[in-house]
Amino acid sequence: MKLFLAISLSILLTGCFFEKDSPEVLNLYSARHYESDQLVYEEFTKKTGIKINLVEGKGADLEKRIKSEGELCDADLFITVDIGRIWKAETEGLFQSVDSEVLNKRIPSHLRHSQGFWYALTKRARVLFYSKERVDPKKLSTYEALVDSEWKGKVLIRSSANIYNQSLLASLIAHHGENKAKEWAAGMVDNFARKPQSNDTGQLRDLAAGAGDIAVANTYYYFRLAKSEKPEDREVIEKIGIYFPNQSDRGSHINISGVGVLKHAKNKEAAVQFIEFMVSDFAQEILAKGNNEYPVVPGVKLDEKLAEFDFIEDSISAEEIGVNSPVATKIFDEVKWR
């Protein structure tokens, strides 16, 4: 693993060393770092004979590399996480349009670009978590209600620099308009239990430790802890509950990981074939289970633990959320979310 990471870093720093223009090779940049994804790539190669050359890294770093290399980099595909990142990559002209009957049929319209520039591969829900000792879940309802005075000094959440929070606020802009969304963001700041910090796992650990009463985080962080054999992780799960907000109206906020065919891809046909394979039932089940996420294709079998929680999800267009991302960032700055 260390050798692989070193090779990946070398590629990012010094340029692309992919095989050139071969229909039997696909060159892939990915911000997903899960062993389950590797299993899917291997199966794709077995079925098609097309080899996958993979470079992993942070989404922002990979995006920067793609932009700086331009036509000189032979990457065919870019997988990244979060609506905001994939929308940004599309608006900067990194992708080319794809027209696939398979993708249009299998992926719901709100989870793909209207002109085929990108497609969702997995879904993740950003929901509420509460202290079982201090909060009656019957008092919880919506994201909007987090700004009520009842929760003053009790809400735990990450910083405004976090892309997950930016997309959550962008969804509120889409539903309520910029002014109402700004009021919500300001109300959240008033209700912070402490200065935004740490990652999503940190929010859950701090919640269990008593730093606040409610936390906002992605569900897969919760399920990672729930499946852990470490006593300290099990203790966290025993102390907190999961709550899916807005079930009486639009549903809980959904984010995605997604993929697009790069503008200068040499093997577009094989790249489209790869994405189509990634939304097969086989690939969807493995991709989702590997990181405790949700498949984008309806009807694909869920992980057993995730299947215990049935919920309504917000079906607003991911593309619309992306469009609102810059406004969300501006609002965070204005209300001093930090």
Concatenate the DSSP letters of all residues of 90-139 into one string.
HHTT-B-----HHHHHHS-GGGB-TTSS-EEEEEEEEEEEEETTT--GGG
Q: Which residue has the tokens 């995730």?
A: 306
Q: Which residue has the tokens 């940004």?
A: 88
Domain CATH number, residue 196: 3.40.190.10
Each residue's pLDDT tens digit, 202-222: 999 999 999 999 999 999 999
Each residue's pLDDT tens digit, 91-150: 999 999 999 999 999 999 999 999 999 999 999 999 999 999 999 999 999 999 999 999
* Distance, CA of 135 to CA of 240 (rounded, Å): 10
Q: In angstroms, how far is CA 242 from the centroid of its own chain?
A: 19
Each residue's pLDDT tens digit, 245-272: 999 999 999 999 999 999 999 999 999 9
* Distance, CA of 133 to CA of 193 (rounded, Å): 16
Q: Which amino acid is at 186?
A: A
Dig out the tokens for 211 from the structure.
């730093």
Q: Give residue 23's pLDDT band: very low, low, confident or very high (50, 70, 90).
A: low
Would you say 326 and 309 are in contact if contact means Cβ atoms under 8 Å apart?
Answer: no
What string of DSSP letters covers 229-282? Answer: --HHHHHHHHHEEEE---TTTT-B-EEEEEEEEBTT-S-HHHHHHHHHHHTSHH
Q: Give residue 71's pLDDT band: very low, low, confident or very high (50, 70, 90).
A: confident
Burial class (CB in 10 A: 0-12, 13-18, 19+), 164: buried
Q: Give residue 318's pLDDT band: very low, low, confident or very high (50, 70, 90).
A: very high
Neighbours of 230 (CB within 10 A): 9
Each residue's pLDDT tens digit, 171-212: 999 999 999 999 999 999 999 999 999 999 999 999 999 999
For residue 8, is pLDDT > 50? no
- What separation in angstroms does the CA of 258 have from each of 32, 85, 192? 10, 9, 31
Same domain for 280 and 188, yes or no, is no
Residue 311 lies in a domain: no
* Mean pLDDT rounded to a whole number for the chain: 93
Residue 312 lies in a domain: no
For residue 10, is pLDDT > 60? no
Same domain for 205 and 192, yes or no, is yes
250, 253, 256, 260 alpha-carbon torsion, rounded to 10°: 50
Same domain for 145 and 50, yes or no, is no
Same domain for 217 and 263, yes or no, is no
Residue 310 lies in a domain: no
In sign, the C-alpha dihedral spanning 48, 45, 81, 57 is negative
Q: How many domains does the chain have?
A: 2
Same domain for 147 and 291, yes or no, is no
* Distance, CA of 16 to CA of 27 (rounded, Å): 10
Residue 20 lies in a domain: yes
Q: Which domain, by its residues, includes 111?
A: 2-123+256-302
* DSSP 8-state class, residue 186: H
